[in-house]
Amino acid sequence: MSFSYNNHSLHAESVDIADLMANYGSPLYVYSRTDIENNWREFDSAFGQHPHLVCYAVKANSNIAVLNVLAKIGAGFDIVSIGELERVLAAGGQASKCVFSGVAKTHAEIKRGLEVGIRCFNVESSAELDRIEQVASGLNMQAPISIRVNPNVDAKTHPYISTGLKENKFGVDIDDAIELYEQAQRYEFINIQGLDCHIGSQLTDVSPFLDALDKVLDLIAKLNDRGIEIAHLDLGGGVGIRYDDEVTIDIAAYVGEMLKRVGNLEIILEPGRAIVGNAGVFVTKVEFLKQNSDKSFAIIDGAMNDLLRPAFYNAYHQVLPVNDNANGVEASWDLVGPICETGDFLAKDRQLSLSEGDYLAVMSAGAYGFTMSSNYNSRPRVAEVMVADDAHHLIRKRENIQDLFNTEAIIND
């Protein structure tokens, strides 16, 4: 981890976060380039010489500086929209290393993917397969596809980020997959490449992954018996990170168990949170302290529009003071923001010594932080900074008030 204390001040790599706040203002997202690179390489190196591609899930953090860092070290990308595809291309990523996921691909998205040479479309329904055939036919091109199967495995994670059960919107029921592959094989402009499976996010136990793997390998054997060759197996992402006291998955051990089962199949993985989650923090300033007979509130300048996960998932993030404050007010604080919602909190019941003006770092905020932010309550989105050793770079300017309505218009009667 690249976030640690030096002389009682929290640092991002070799940079004092207090200095970053003085330079760039509050609130602020701060990312460690070293952590991002090391986290991706942990997945990549675990495969050794086995054919594989580690595709970073862009939805976790789509800043083009983050994407560029990953592209430079050889990453592929998992995308779910044409916007994410264009971000990858603008950041120097290769379309030939992109897998296109998502349940609602439009004609325009499929067409653009084909034009730039997408590695594979992960097909999520029979209707989508028909659409890809139609668009590919119009371009007189072969469309590389895999079919995302739903193995009905309980990932035992938050219901909003569980994707591998029959009740979820994703993928094709594993019992219906053979019929859809046979349909794909009959199509003139479809080129079957692989099989895709993703069961959920923030998994901290390897067992559901291996259960799903066994099911899809059984399906691949049945497809081979029918003359349908599968060249790669995409096992999605979902490896969890430590937010509190979770015992997380050993990447090398997980990949090792996987490789014992898959023979010579090329493996594609799509980690997102595991690459950037612990590589970022959200830093916010204490504006007011407010205490009553029941509660102690630290009113901060960061809010649910900046970091949605606590309000949306009731997610836990560790909170650390940027600087020690032995003279502050010691209490169990709820960290609440300026949004006019009772659900606007970033943390509850945190034992801290605080004064007005203190900075607090909400840890493990590199994934699904800025990407899920909004302008709710007409709040400009915050700046993003990347740190590398003792250097720091502004990778997204803070929005201003004018930015909020530049694309709007008044009707002149």
Instruction: State pLDDT tens for residues 335-371.
Output: 999 999 999 999 999 999 999 999 999 999 999 999 9
Which of 253, 269, 285 is where one domain is finished? 269
Residue 40 lies in a domain: no
For residue 102, what are the contacts with CB-CB under 8 A and spacing of at least 6? Answer: 79, 80, 81, 122, 124
In this predicted structure, the answer to whether residue 191 has a pLDDT above a threshold of 80 is yes
In this predicted structure, the answer to whether residue 163 has a pLDDT above a threshold of 70 is no
Give the mean model confidence (pLDDT) for residues 169-181.
Answer: 88
Same domain, 245 and 314: no
Same domain, 145 and 258: yes
Report the percent of the chain where pLDDT is more than 90. Answer: 89
Four-residue CA torsion sign, 291, 293, 296, 299: negative
Residue 220 lies in a domain: yes
Phi, psi for 139 (deg, rounded to 5):
-95, -5
- Domain hosting 245: range is 102-269
Residue 90: DSSP 8-state: H
What's the pLDDT at 201? 85
**Structurally, how many domains does the chain consist of?**
2
Contact, 367 vs 277, CB < 8 A?
Answer: yes
Judged by phi (left if over 0) then psi (alpha if -120 to 50, else beta), residue 190 lies in: beta
Contact, 401 vs 321, CB < 8 A?
Answer: no
Same domain, 373 and 288: yes
For residue 381, what are the contacts with CB-CB under 8 A and spacing of at least 6? Answer: 305, 306, 370, 373, 374, 375, 398, 399
CA triplet 409, 378, 386: central angle to 5 degrees?
Answer: 110
pLDDT in tens, 266-280: 999 999 999 999 999
Give the whole-angstrom CA distance, residue 1 versus residue 38.
Answer: 10
Residue 370 lies in a domain: yes
Same domain, 196 and 245: yes
Contact, 248 vs 231, CB < 8 A?
Answer: no
Residue 47 lies in a domain: no
Which of 240, 269, 298 is where one domain is finished? 269
Residue 374 lies in a domain: yes
Residue 44 lies in a domain: no
pLDDT in tens, 116-153: 999 999 999 999 999 999 999 999 999 999 999 988 87
Which domain CATH number covers 155? Answer: 3.20.20.10
pTM for this predicted structure: 0.95
Same domain, 163 and 281: no
In this predicted structure, the answer to whether residue 322 has a pLDDT above a threshold of 70 is yes
Give the mean model confidence (pLDDT) for residues 42-57.
Answer: 98
Same domain, 290 and 248: no
- The tally of CA atoms less than 13 A away on the side-chain side of residue 46 is 23
User: Which residues are designated catalytic?
Assistant: 340
Same domain, 107 and 255: yes
Looking at every residue in the chain, the average pLDDT score rounds to 94
In this predicted structure, the answer to whether residue 93 has a pLDDT above a threshold of 90 is yes
In this predicted structure, the answer to whether residue 164 has a pLDDT above a threshold of 60 is no
For residue 250, what are the contacts with CB-CB under 8 A and spacing of at least 6? Answer: 206
Which domain CATH number covers 304? Answer: 2.40.37.10
Same domain, 9 and 151: no
**Amino acid symbol at 253:** A
What's the pLDDT at 171? 84
As a whole number of angstroms, the longest Cα–Cα distance in the chain is: 73
Same domain, 238 and 380: no
Same domain, 332 and 257: no
Judged by phi (left if over 0) then psi (alpha if -120 to 50, else beta), residue 244 lies in: alpha
Contact, 299 vs 345, CB < 8 A?
Answer: no
Same domain, 257 and 320: no
